[in-house]
Chain A
Amino acid sequence: MHIPDNYLSPATCGTLVTAMVPVWTVAVLKVKVQLKTHRETLPMLGIAASLAFLIMMFNLPIPGGTTAHAVGGTLLAVLIGPWAACLALTVTLLLQALLFGDGGILAFGANALNMAVIMPFVGYACYRLGQKWQHEKLGLAVGAYLGINMAALVAGIELGLQPLLAHTTSGAPLYCPYGLNITIPAMLAAHLLVAGWVEVVFTLLVFQFVKRVAPTNLYQTPPRRNHRPWIALLLGLAVLSPLGLLASNTAWGEWSPRELQQRLVQQHISTHAPQGMVHGFHFQALFSDYTIAGLPVSLGYILSGITAILIFLLLIRGLQHETNPSHR
């Protein structure tokens, strides 16, 4: 899954590195918080990076006489926490790119996004869900499988977009020559059929061993903190939601068939809107365009925002498990 240099355009590489900078910043901040209670996390980061390197080196036999290796993203997230795993895997990828030539230097951002962010976080989220629903191992297995396949899918998309993003005037691709119709099946087939199962087996076996021998060495999710700042932020955003009304035009691609027809006429493209849009399915929502009859539009926006927040909070609250019976 390590994308080498020259398979992604410099623009893609630059964008992905830029996208990774806030993730790394948050990871460093989160790990610093973790360090206050677990000081051994600091050297553990480096040692976990070495562990990830060895996991990626170790080949496992698979049916058919060949071998495949695990990545260990989900496993590390469960063992040392997702943010620490993100940093440890980033360092592993940096080492592999700079010292061993595995994965590109320019493509470092892309590889970090796929293997140091998507894989551990998807895996850890599934594990936590499994833990909440009292099916820890099932959650971990699903997480390991989904994590690696999601990372492979994103890698396939990154590679497959290149012929569309960077090509010569004659249409010849400048970087990865395969389109999405080739890269996505190629990446997913290998991971869905082989690598995903190797990851599941590897993750489960090591997790079971550590849980049996030293359960205290598993990462303990920190206790839930005060959610008030988040609620305040969400309410603040809801109050600010009518700001978009300052723009008079409709957003690109959100036109009604009539508006679209007017634009097509103005641009001398056509005199009527596409038939599929005119006679297509039209759902009339209860509060169409966030407007509530009898109220100013801006107030309708704010009320819609608050309603949505309330619905989502109720939904999350309903799905939560009661952890402490004494609080009932």
Chain B
Amino acid sequence: MKPTRHTADLPTWLQTNTTVATATTKHQWWQRNQQHLRQLLSRLAQPTPVTVTMHWQIAPQFKLIRLLLLVILIAVSRNVILLWGLALLIGGQLLWLPPQQLRHFIKSWLISVAAALLFVLPSYWLAGPSTLLFFGLKTSLMLANAQYYRLTTPFQALLTGLKALHCPDLLIMTLAIAITYLRMLGQHLLLTMEALELRTVAPAAHPYRLIGALFGNLYLKSYAYALELYAAMEARGFNGHYARATTHSTHWRDYLALTPALIVWAVFIFWGH
């Protein structure tokens, strides 16, 4: 370090750089976990804005049904031309996404397809290229549909859809609480990890020693949150039913939004084989 005007008066031991030996390899997993948590928290804090490009809003339950219809059809179908048709259908839907959303879609879709193909790649030597290609096509189509649903549906709409499809209140409430508290618990875990990192001067004997305290504390914190949350729910007149999700009245346009999927199903039933 080159001495400046201000540092020239400092004693020599303060002017010399000393590199502290950090056990980087030992703490890599710690840093990596922190990084994963930060990524999750940023994703939960700023969820990808959901695109509303259509002229009408499809009722959430219809979106769910459409997703299920398409995913089941892709799984059942063995006809390459039909699968091609389904690829065109999802491609057409993707055209309505704004460019930024589209880039986000392509990036995450390619990563998930690569991960799926990595597992099935050795089958090339067992069953030949046709199985691999067919499997790759179907998997990528399914992942594209699921990804499109994630990009175009806010979490609240998922809850509303489940409620409209008569899913038990207990499950919907659990789902709603889980997504809310995932961020809070994640934040708590990250802060605890950072605090531990700052306070631990000497290297710990074994990293596993911290795990019990870390997750044990997190569980106790969860318990405290649960008690507080139940008290708040009771104070607001909780009667055991999930009432937040307001069900939309179905419109003829909702049924119209299902028609492409139904047409492909009809094609599959009558000409698919």
Contact = CB atoms under 8 A, between A and B. Distances in A.
A13 interface: yes
B20 to A, nearest CB: 21
A222 interface: no
Query: Looking at chain A, what size class is its interface with the partner chain?
Result: 35 or more
B116 interface: yes
Given A54-B185, A206-B212, A91 B72 contact: no
Contacts of B186: 50, 54
Interface stretch (A167-175, A254-262, A279-287, A305-313): A167-175
Interface string A37-55: 0011111111111110111
B76 A209 contact: no
Interface stretch (A95-103, A127-135, A140-148): A95-103
Contacts of A111: none
A59 B33 contact: yes
Nearest to A84: B174
Contacts of A105: 67-68, 71, 142, 146
B173 A42 contact: yes
A43 B229 contact: yes
Nearest to A67: B29
Interface string A294-309: 0000000000000000
B227 interface: yes
A88 B135 CA distance: 32
A46 B215 contact: no
A242 interface: no
B112 to A, nearest CB: 6
B173 A55 contact: no
Contacts of A201: 208, 211
Nearest to B179: A95
Contacts of B78: 168, 174
B122 to A, nearest CB: 8
A102 B20 CA distance: 40
Interface stretch (B4-12, B89-97, B216-224): B216-224
Query: Looking at chain B, what size class is its interface with the partner chain?
Result: 35 or more
B79 interface: no
Interface string A8-50: 0110010000000000100010011000000111111111111
B171 interface: yes
Interface in A196-210: 201-202, 204-206, 208-210
Nearest to B184: A50
B264 interface: no
Contacts of A31: 170
Contact of A5 (B71, B130, B173, B176): B71
A78 B216 CA distance: 13
Contacts of B138: 6
Contacts of B155: 99
Contacts of B177: 43, 45-47, 49-50
Given A4-B139, A28-B170, A67-B29, A213 B220 contact: yes
Nearest to A31: B170
Nearest to B40: A57
A214 interface: yes
Contacts of A106: 71-72, 75, 142
A59 B29 contact: yes
Given A50-B181, A53-B178, A54-B186, A40 B120 contact: no
A87 interface: yes
Interface of A: 4-6, 9-10, 13, 24, 28, 31-32, 39-51, 53-55, 57-61, 65, 67, 79, 87-88, 90-92, 94-95, 98-99, 101, 104-106, 168, 172-178, 201-202, 204-206, 208-210, 213-214, 217
14 contacts: A5-B75, A28-B170, A42-B170, A44-B226, A46-B178, A48-B222, A50-B177, A51-B222, A57-B40, A91-B171, A98-B146, A101-B108, A201-B208, A217-B220
